[in-house]
Chains A and B, each alone.
Chain A
Amino acid sequence: MKQSLGEFLELAVAYIIIFFILREWLIPIMQLTNTGGFQLFLVFIGLSLALSLFRVHPLLSGFVKFGYITWFIVFIYSESPVFSGKTVPFLLAEWKGNMSSIISGDFGQVSDAFRTVLFLVLIWMLVYLIHHWVSVRKNIFYFFAMTVFFIATLDTFSDYDGKTAIVKVVVLGLMMTGVLFVKRLWLQVDATGNVVGKWRIVIPMLVSVLLVSTVAFFLPKTGPTWADPVPFIQGVTGQDGAGAGMKSVGYSQDDSQLGGPFQGDNTLIFTASSRDRHYWRIETKDTYTSKGWIVSEGSFGKNVYETNTPIMTSLQVGPPENERQIQLDIAVSMPFLIQTYGLLSVSAQNSTLFIQDEQTERMTIEQQIDASKSLSNYTLSYSEPVYSMEQLQLSFPASLETLDSSFDRFLQVPSQLPQRVRDLAFAITQDKTTVYDQIKAVESYFRTKGFRYDKTQAAIPAENQDYVDQFLFDTKVGYCDNFSTSMVVLLRSVGIPARWVKGFAPGTAGPMTDGLREYRITNDNAHSWVEAFIPGTGWMEFEPTIGFTGNVNIDYDIQLDSSEQEELVQPEQKPEQPQQQEQVSDKEQAKSTFSFDKFWTWLKKFVYVWIIVFVLLIISGISLYLQRKTWLPKMHVRAYRKKTADWSTFDSSYHVLLKQLSRIGLRRRDGETLRMFAERVDASLETDEMQKLTAVYEQHVYGKDKQEVDFMKLKESWEYLINRTIS
């Protein structure tokens, strides 16, 4: 089908409008998910639309898009330039890592690069869908309506402000529907393509749309007729804790009253140049009050460190040969040192002292020369700790009883803690044999039991209510504080020492340059998580919060260098790794000794995957059934080719044909004779084969003696008819 210039121009106009509408989709997504590279995504949308507009061959188009995606990923996530030898290994490593995460069911563990790929593929599919809507259906209304709905929803329920976006979308959408409507009108009247004539209708329409929107934009507006639905919904669902008003997220020292919603705050706190992704640790707290966290009473010492001197913490460090540096640039002055896991020493300008509080492990920065001037940058040296899986699997709960009294403060729970919290903790950990498995069970508990991450809907406990109890049993909605506090309390309830850690999540990663990546940490990244004590191993960090993935920056080198590859696992900072390891060992065991129990646990592990697979199977089954008129005949043709040509084959093939005809809408009525039906079929399919077949069939059914017939010819007629029903 050849396009005229006029048609092409129309399509181009439509695509330009669509591009801008898609841009309005992209903006809030980028904003709300803190995703960078907006322009690059926009280029991809433009590229997809352009390829579709110029009707580039699908293969070539797919190749170009695939190339762009690859370049995108390498450009953003790889440290080396695109055309270097490292690109392919990088992509392979990414692929391998993400596939293993997906296979092991840890969908939260896939890397940002892979998420980006998925998002780009989604855009790809969306553009294809829009292309179909515009050029085939000539109706973009659903897309338009969905856009308005999408922006309105985000505006209502998130931090995104869609005030201008909605106006833009409505104007664009009105133009778009107008253009398409004119086009459809034109198709209906079947006039010859007169470009000038078409534009004569389109231009007044465009002018009136613009005029109306402009006037509307400048007219005074009344306030919202309906109240903001969010507080109402919360009121109905009993989450009236939100009444306490908004609380700014960020790093505060007072955690004695947790709960309540908080608002986004994009203030940059610091940037870090690092090879790896880190959790930024600032302090720990040990005493839970039913409402929040305080520091226990008691005498604890303080240690003073100078720059470049080894720092001692209760945490483990990795082997010295793995020592690396992180450069931190502080944007908002902060009196405390930002630590990382495996911290060895800090290097800053001379004369800076770091005072470590032994109780909270918080390190206060003290400038000796000019106390008013805060430290604006410093370098952390660290070596990521390596935890031994074998060791972890030897951590039997019995050994917890031998812990000395210094751990008591990490086992504290308020006396008024409801019994059902303790019961739950017992229930979760009951069938786990090692301390490590118990902790992991608690950590993953939140991911499966209907908990939801939401910054704005976290409730504040009532006077006689426990913060953890409320979250675990009543609301199940909250943010990091809810998850981490609950996990600490649950662990303590079963006798595992645990503490509450505050600091920052890894932040937004920028592109890789010279082996280093710049992480931007804003107030939004303020975070809390859990450290638990495992006998024989020590303190390890855990991440119970939904949507946070612990540290996934895996260094494969450590594994390769390690002589005890089997036993060694990645540091707990990288929770993905131990799980994979378990996965591997599970499989190995399954190979050596197959047992039904193992198989059953394996099945249970992927219960959601199975459900999805099952649902997909059912859906595809149904759609196959509904589409049977398109594929069933082909099967029949193949089947009947093999059969010998005789009367019984002819009889059954004739009935197959009748059935297939009824599927495509040519149904024989009760009182209709075969001959009448055959005439109707032939008229509708513009052949005379059905009457030929029917004449023979009549003789077969109503006649007495069978005459000689040419079955090959009948078969040809039959196949011809069957094929006609598909095309």
Chain B
Amino acid sequence: MNSQIQAVLENIDKVMIGKREVAELSLVALLARGHVLLEDVPGVGKTMMVRSLAKSFDAQFKRIQFTPDLLPSDVVGISIYNPKTLEFEFRPGPIMGDVILADEINRTSPKTQSALLEGMEEASVTIDGKTLAINQPFFVMATQNPIEHEGTYPLPEAQLDRFLLKIKMGYPSRGQEVEILRRAENGKAIEKIQAVLSVAQLIELQELVQGVYVEDSVKNYMVELATQTRENSYVYLGVSPRATIALMKASQAYAFVKGRSFVTPDDVQYLVPFVFSHRLVLKPDARYDNVTANEIIERIIAKTPVPTKRFAEQ
């Protein structure tokens, strides 16, 4: 495993207990310049995760709590008339941070959602006709509460596509929960951790991730997996080429996290559920047959032949 990454993960471990995988995946998304959709109930440590991640890089952490009455300008910022200077002065919104937690994103109106999502995709916002670039690193971790449906605005498929990974937090085990209580006695751990990498170093790492080698046979394998989702009888809408790109980028980042200079089919297989599951639109049949997106992906993985030779030799 990459030593710098190792340090970051150990740092997060000081705060988060038993969430190594989530931390690792968040890091993968961060390194791949993607964003994460965390789907889980409140109180399992979503905020703590993002904060500890931000703190480890000494990055600016911003949090947006989405409510139904939140306006796009509350997210991206607004130009306010300054009577002193007789000019409109731009006040940047919380989206202008490095690491942003967009809490309960499905509770706000589509208008506000799309303001955030535009920023996520383009890494820039347009205010009063002016386009402002958002500083790198720009990492959004949106959370979504899966049980509340009353008064929510579910994200449309096209917008879900903008998240690189969808991760579930899950409850801690009994032992882990006891450990959480033990730590809670000693005050807030999040206040105690120090940055292990600078933002500049993070950007450097992001550059390095792009150089991770993906053999053609592995690329082919990714395409094959994507094609399979499009041909599956339970799937109404398969994943887009954007998803395939996302898969490749995530795989590169994951291989990098694991300290490798090349992507293996293991990386791909591991990441496919996180990259694809929120991008699939299932037919009603799937629900009748009690088949979930993850199960479909599992089946596709099981039947798609893994490349064991270089592409040129196949």
Contacts and interface: CB of A to CB of B under 8 A. Distances in A.
B262 A673 contact: no
Nearest to B306: A673
A670 B306 contact: yes
Interface stretch (A239-247, A398-406, A440-448, A697-705): A697-705
A138 interface: no
B263 A702 contact: yes
Nearest to B255: A702
A629 interface: no
A674 to B, nearest CB: 6
A675 B264 CA distance: 9
12 contacts: A669-B302, A673-B306, A674-B265, A674-B306, A698-B264, A699-B262, A701-B217, A702-B215, A702-B262, A702-B264, A702-B265, A704-B262
Contacts of A704: 213, 215, 261-262
A668 B305 CA distance: 10
B283 to A, nearest CB: 23
A233 interface: no
A673 B308 CA distance: 8
A676 interface: yes
A675 B215 contact: no
- 7 smallest A-B Cβ distances: which pairs? A704-B213, A671-B302, A703-B262, A670-B305, A673-B265, A702-B215, A673-B266
Nearest to A703: B262
Given A701-B215, A702-B217, A674 B304 contact: no
Interface in A653-703: 658, 668-676, 698-699, 701-703
A140 B308 CA distance: 48
Interface string B207-227: 000000101011000000000
B203 interface: no
B309 interface: yes
Contacts of B266: 673, 675-676
B115 interface: no
Q: How large is the interface on A (under 10, 10 to 19, 20 to 34, 35 or more residues)?
A: 10 to 19
Nearest to B304: A671
Interface in B247-272: 261-266, 269
Interface of B: 213, 215, 217-218, 261-266, 269, 301-310
A23 B265 CA distance: 67
Nearest to B310: A701
A671 B305 contact: yes
A671 B262 contact: no
Contacts of B308: 658, 668, 674, 701
A262 to B, nearest CB: 73
Contacts of A670: 302-306
Nearest to A676: B266
Contacts of A703: 213, 215, 261-262
A658 B306 CA distance: 14
Nearest to B270: A673
Contacts of A673: 264-266, 269, 306
Interface of A: 658, 668-676, 698-699, 701-705
Contacts of B213: 702-704
Contacts of B264: 673-675, 698, 702
Given A674-B265, A704-B213, 7 more contacts: A670-B306, A671-B306, A674-B308, A701-B215, A702-B217, A703-B213, A703-B262
Q: Which of A670, A672, A701, A705 has the most chain B CB atoms closer than 10 A to its own CB?
A: A701
A439 B115 CA distance: 112
Contacts of A658: 308
A695 to B, nearest CB: 10
A631 to B, nearest CB: 26
A701 B264 CA distance: 9
Nearest to B311: A701
A705 B261 contact: yes
A669 B298 CA distance: 14
A670 B269 CA distance: 13
B219 to A, nearest CB: 11
A675 B269 CA distance: 11
B210 to A, nearest CB: 14
Given A673-B269, A675-B264, A675-B266, A702 B218 contact: yes
A701 B221 CA distance: 13
A208 to B, nearest CB: 55
A654 to B, nearest CB: 9
A698 B265 CA distance: 9
A671 B266 CA distance: 10
A703 to B, nearest CB: 4
Nearest to B309: A701
A701 B261 CA distance: 13
Contacts of B218: 702
Contacts of A699: 262
Contact of A671 (B263, B303, B309): B303
Contacts of A698: 262, 264
A698 B308 CA distance: 8
A704 B261 CA distance: 8
A704 B211 CA distance: 11
A672 B217 contact: no
Nearest to A700: B310
A675 B258 CA distance: 14
Contacts of B303: 670-671
Contacts of B261: 703-705
A48 to B, nearest CB: 54
Nearest to A671: B302
Contacts of A705: 261
Contact of B301 (A671, A674, A675, A701): A671
A699 B306 CA distance: 15
Contacts of B269: 671, 673
A672 B306 contact: yes
A182 to B, nearest CB: 47
Contacts of A671: 269, 301-306
**Which of A672, A673, A702, A704 has the largest count of B CB atoms less than 10 A from its CB?**
A702
Nearest to B301: A671
A668 B263 CA distance: 20
A619 to B, nearest CB: 36
Nearest to B214: A702
A694 to B, nearest CB: 10
A670 B303 CA distance: 6
A513 to B, nearest CB: 78
Nearest to A672: B306
A699 B262 CA distance: 8
Contacts of B262: 698-699, 702-704
Contacts of B302: 669-671
A16 to B, nearest CB: 58
A671 B304 CA distance: 5
Contacts of A674: 264-265, 306, 308
Contacts of A669: 302
B300 to A, nearest CB: 8
A674 B309 CA distance: 11
A152 to B, nearest CB: 55
Contacts of A702: 213, 215, 217-218, 262-265
Contacts of A672: 306
A672 B303 CA distance: 9
A647 to B, nearest CB: 11
B260 to A, nearest CB: 8
B69 to A, nearest CB: 48
A703 B262 CA distance: 5
A677 to B, nearest CB: 9
A166 B310 CA distance: 69
B276 to A, nearest CB: 15
A670 B302 CA distance: 7
A703 B309 CA distance: 11
A674 B218 CA distance: 13
Nearest to B262: A703
A698 B260 CA distance: 11
A290 B261 CA distance: 98
Nearest to B305: A670
Contacts of B307: 701
A653 to B, nearest CB: 14
